């Protein structure tokens, strides 16, 4: 995605707790307006440093990633 451009999308929105349990979900058409574009390398740098643009948000997403991955492997994936 290019930053500062509207994109028409179909989105899946989930409300999750800190244990990655889904409490609500919504699917529908949306418009995304990205504020910033990260490469995988840039996002990894923020994760490793614990600082940088959107560091708090990236940290939460990384924690959820690890919880979901652990659960997926537990189920045999």
Instruction: Give pLDDT tens digits for 48-76.
Output: 998 998 999 999 999 999 999 999 999 99
**Contact yes or no for 39/48 (Cβ under 8 A):** no
pLDDT-based confidence at residue 26 (cuts at 50, 70, 90) = very high
Location of structure tokens 């840039």: 42
**Contact yes or no for 4/34 (Cβ under 8 A):** yes
- Residue extents of the structural domains in the chain: 1-37, 38-77
Res 27 pLDDT > 90 = yes
């Amino acid at each position: 995605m290019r930053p500062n451009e509207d994109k028409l999308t179909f989105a899946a929105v989930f409300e999750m707790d800190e244990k990655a349990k889904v409490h609500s979900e919504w699917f529908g058409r949306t418009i995304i307006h990205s504020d910033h574009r990260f490469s995988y390398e840039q996002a990894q740098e923020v994760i490793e440093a614990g600082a940088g643009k959107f560091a708090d948000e990236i940290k939460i997403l990384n924690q959820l990633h690890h919880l979901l991955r652990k659960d997926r492997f537990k189920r045999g994936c």
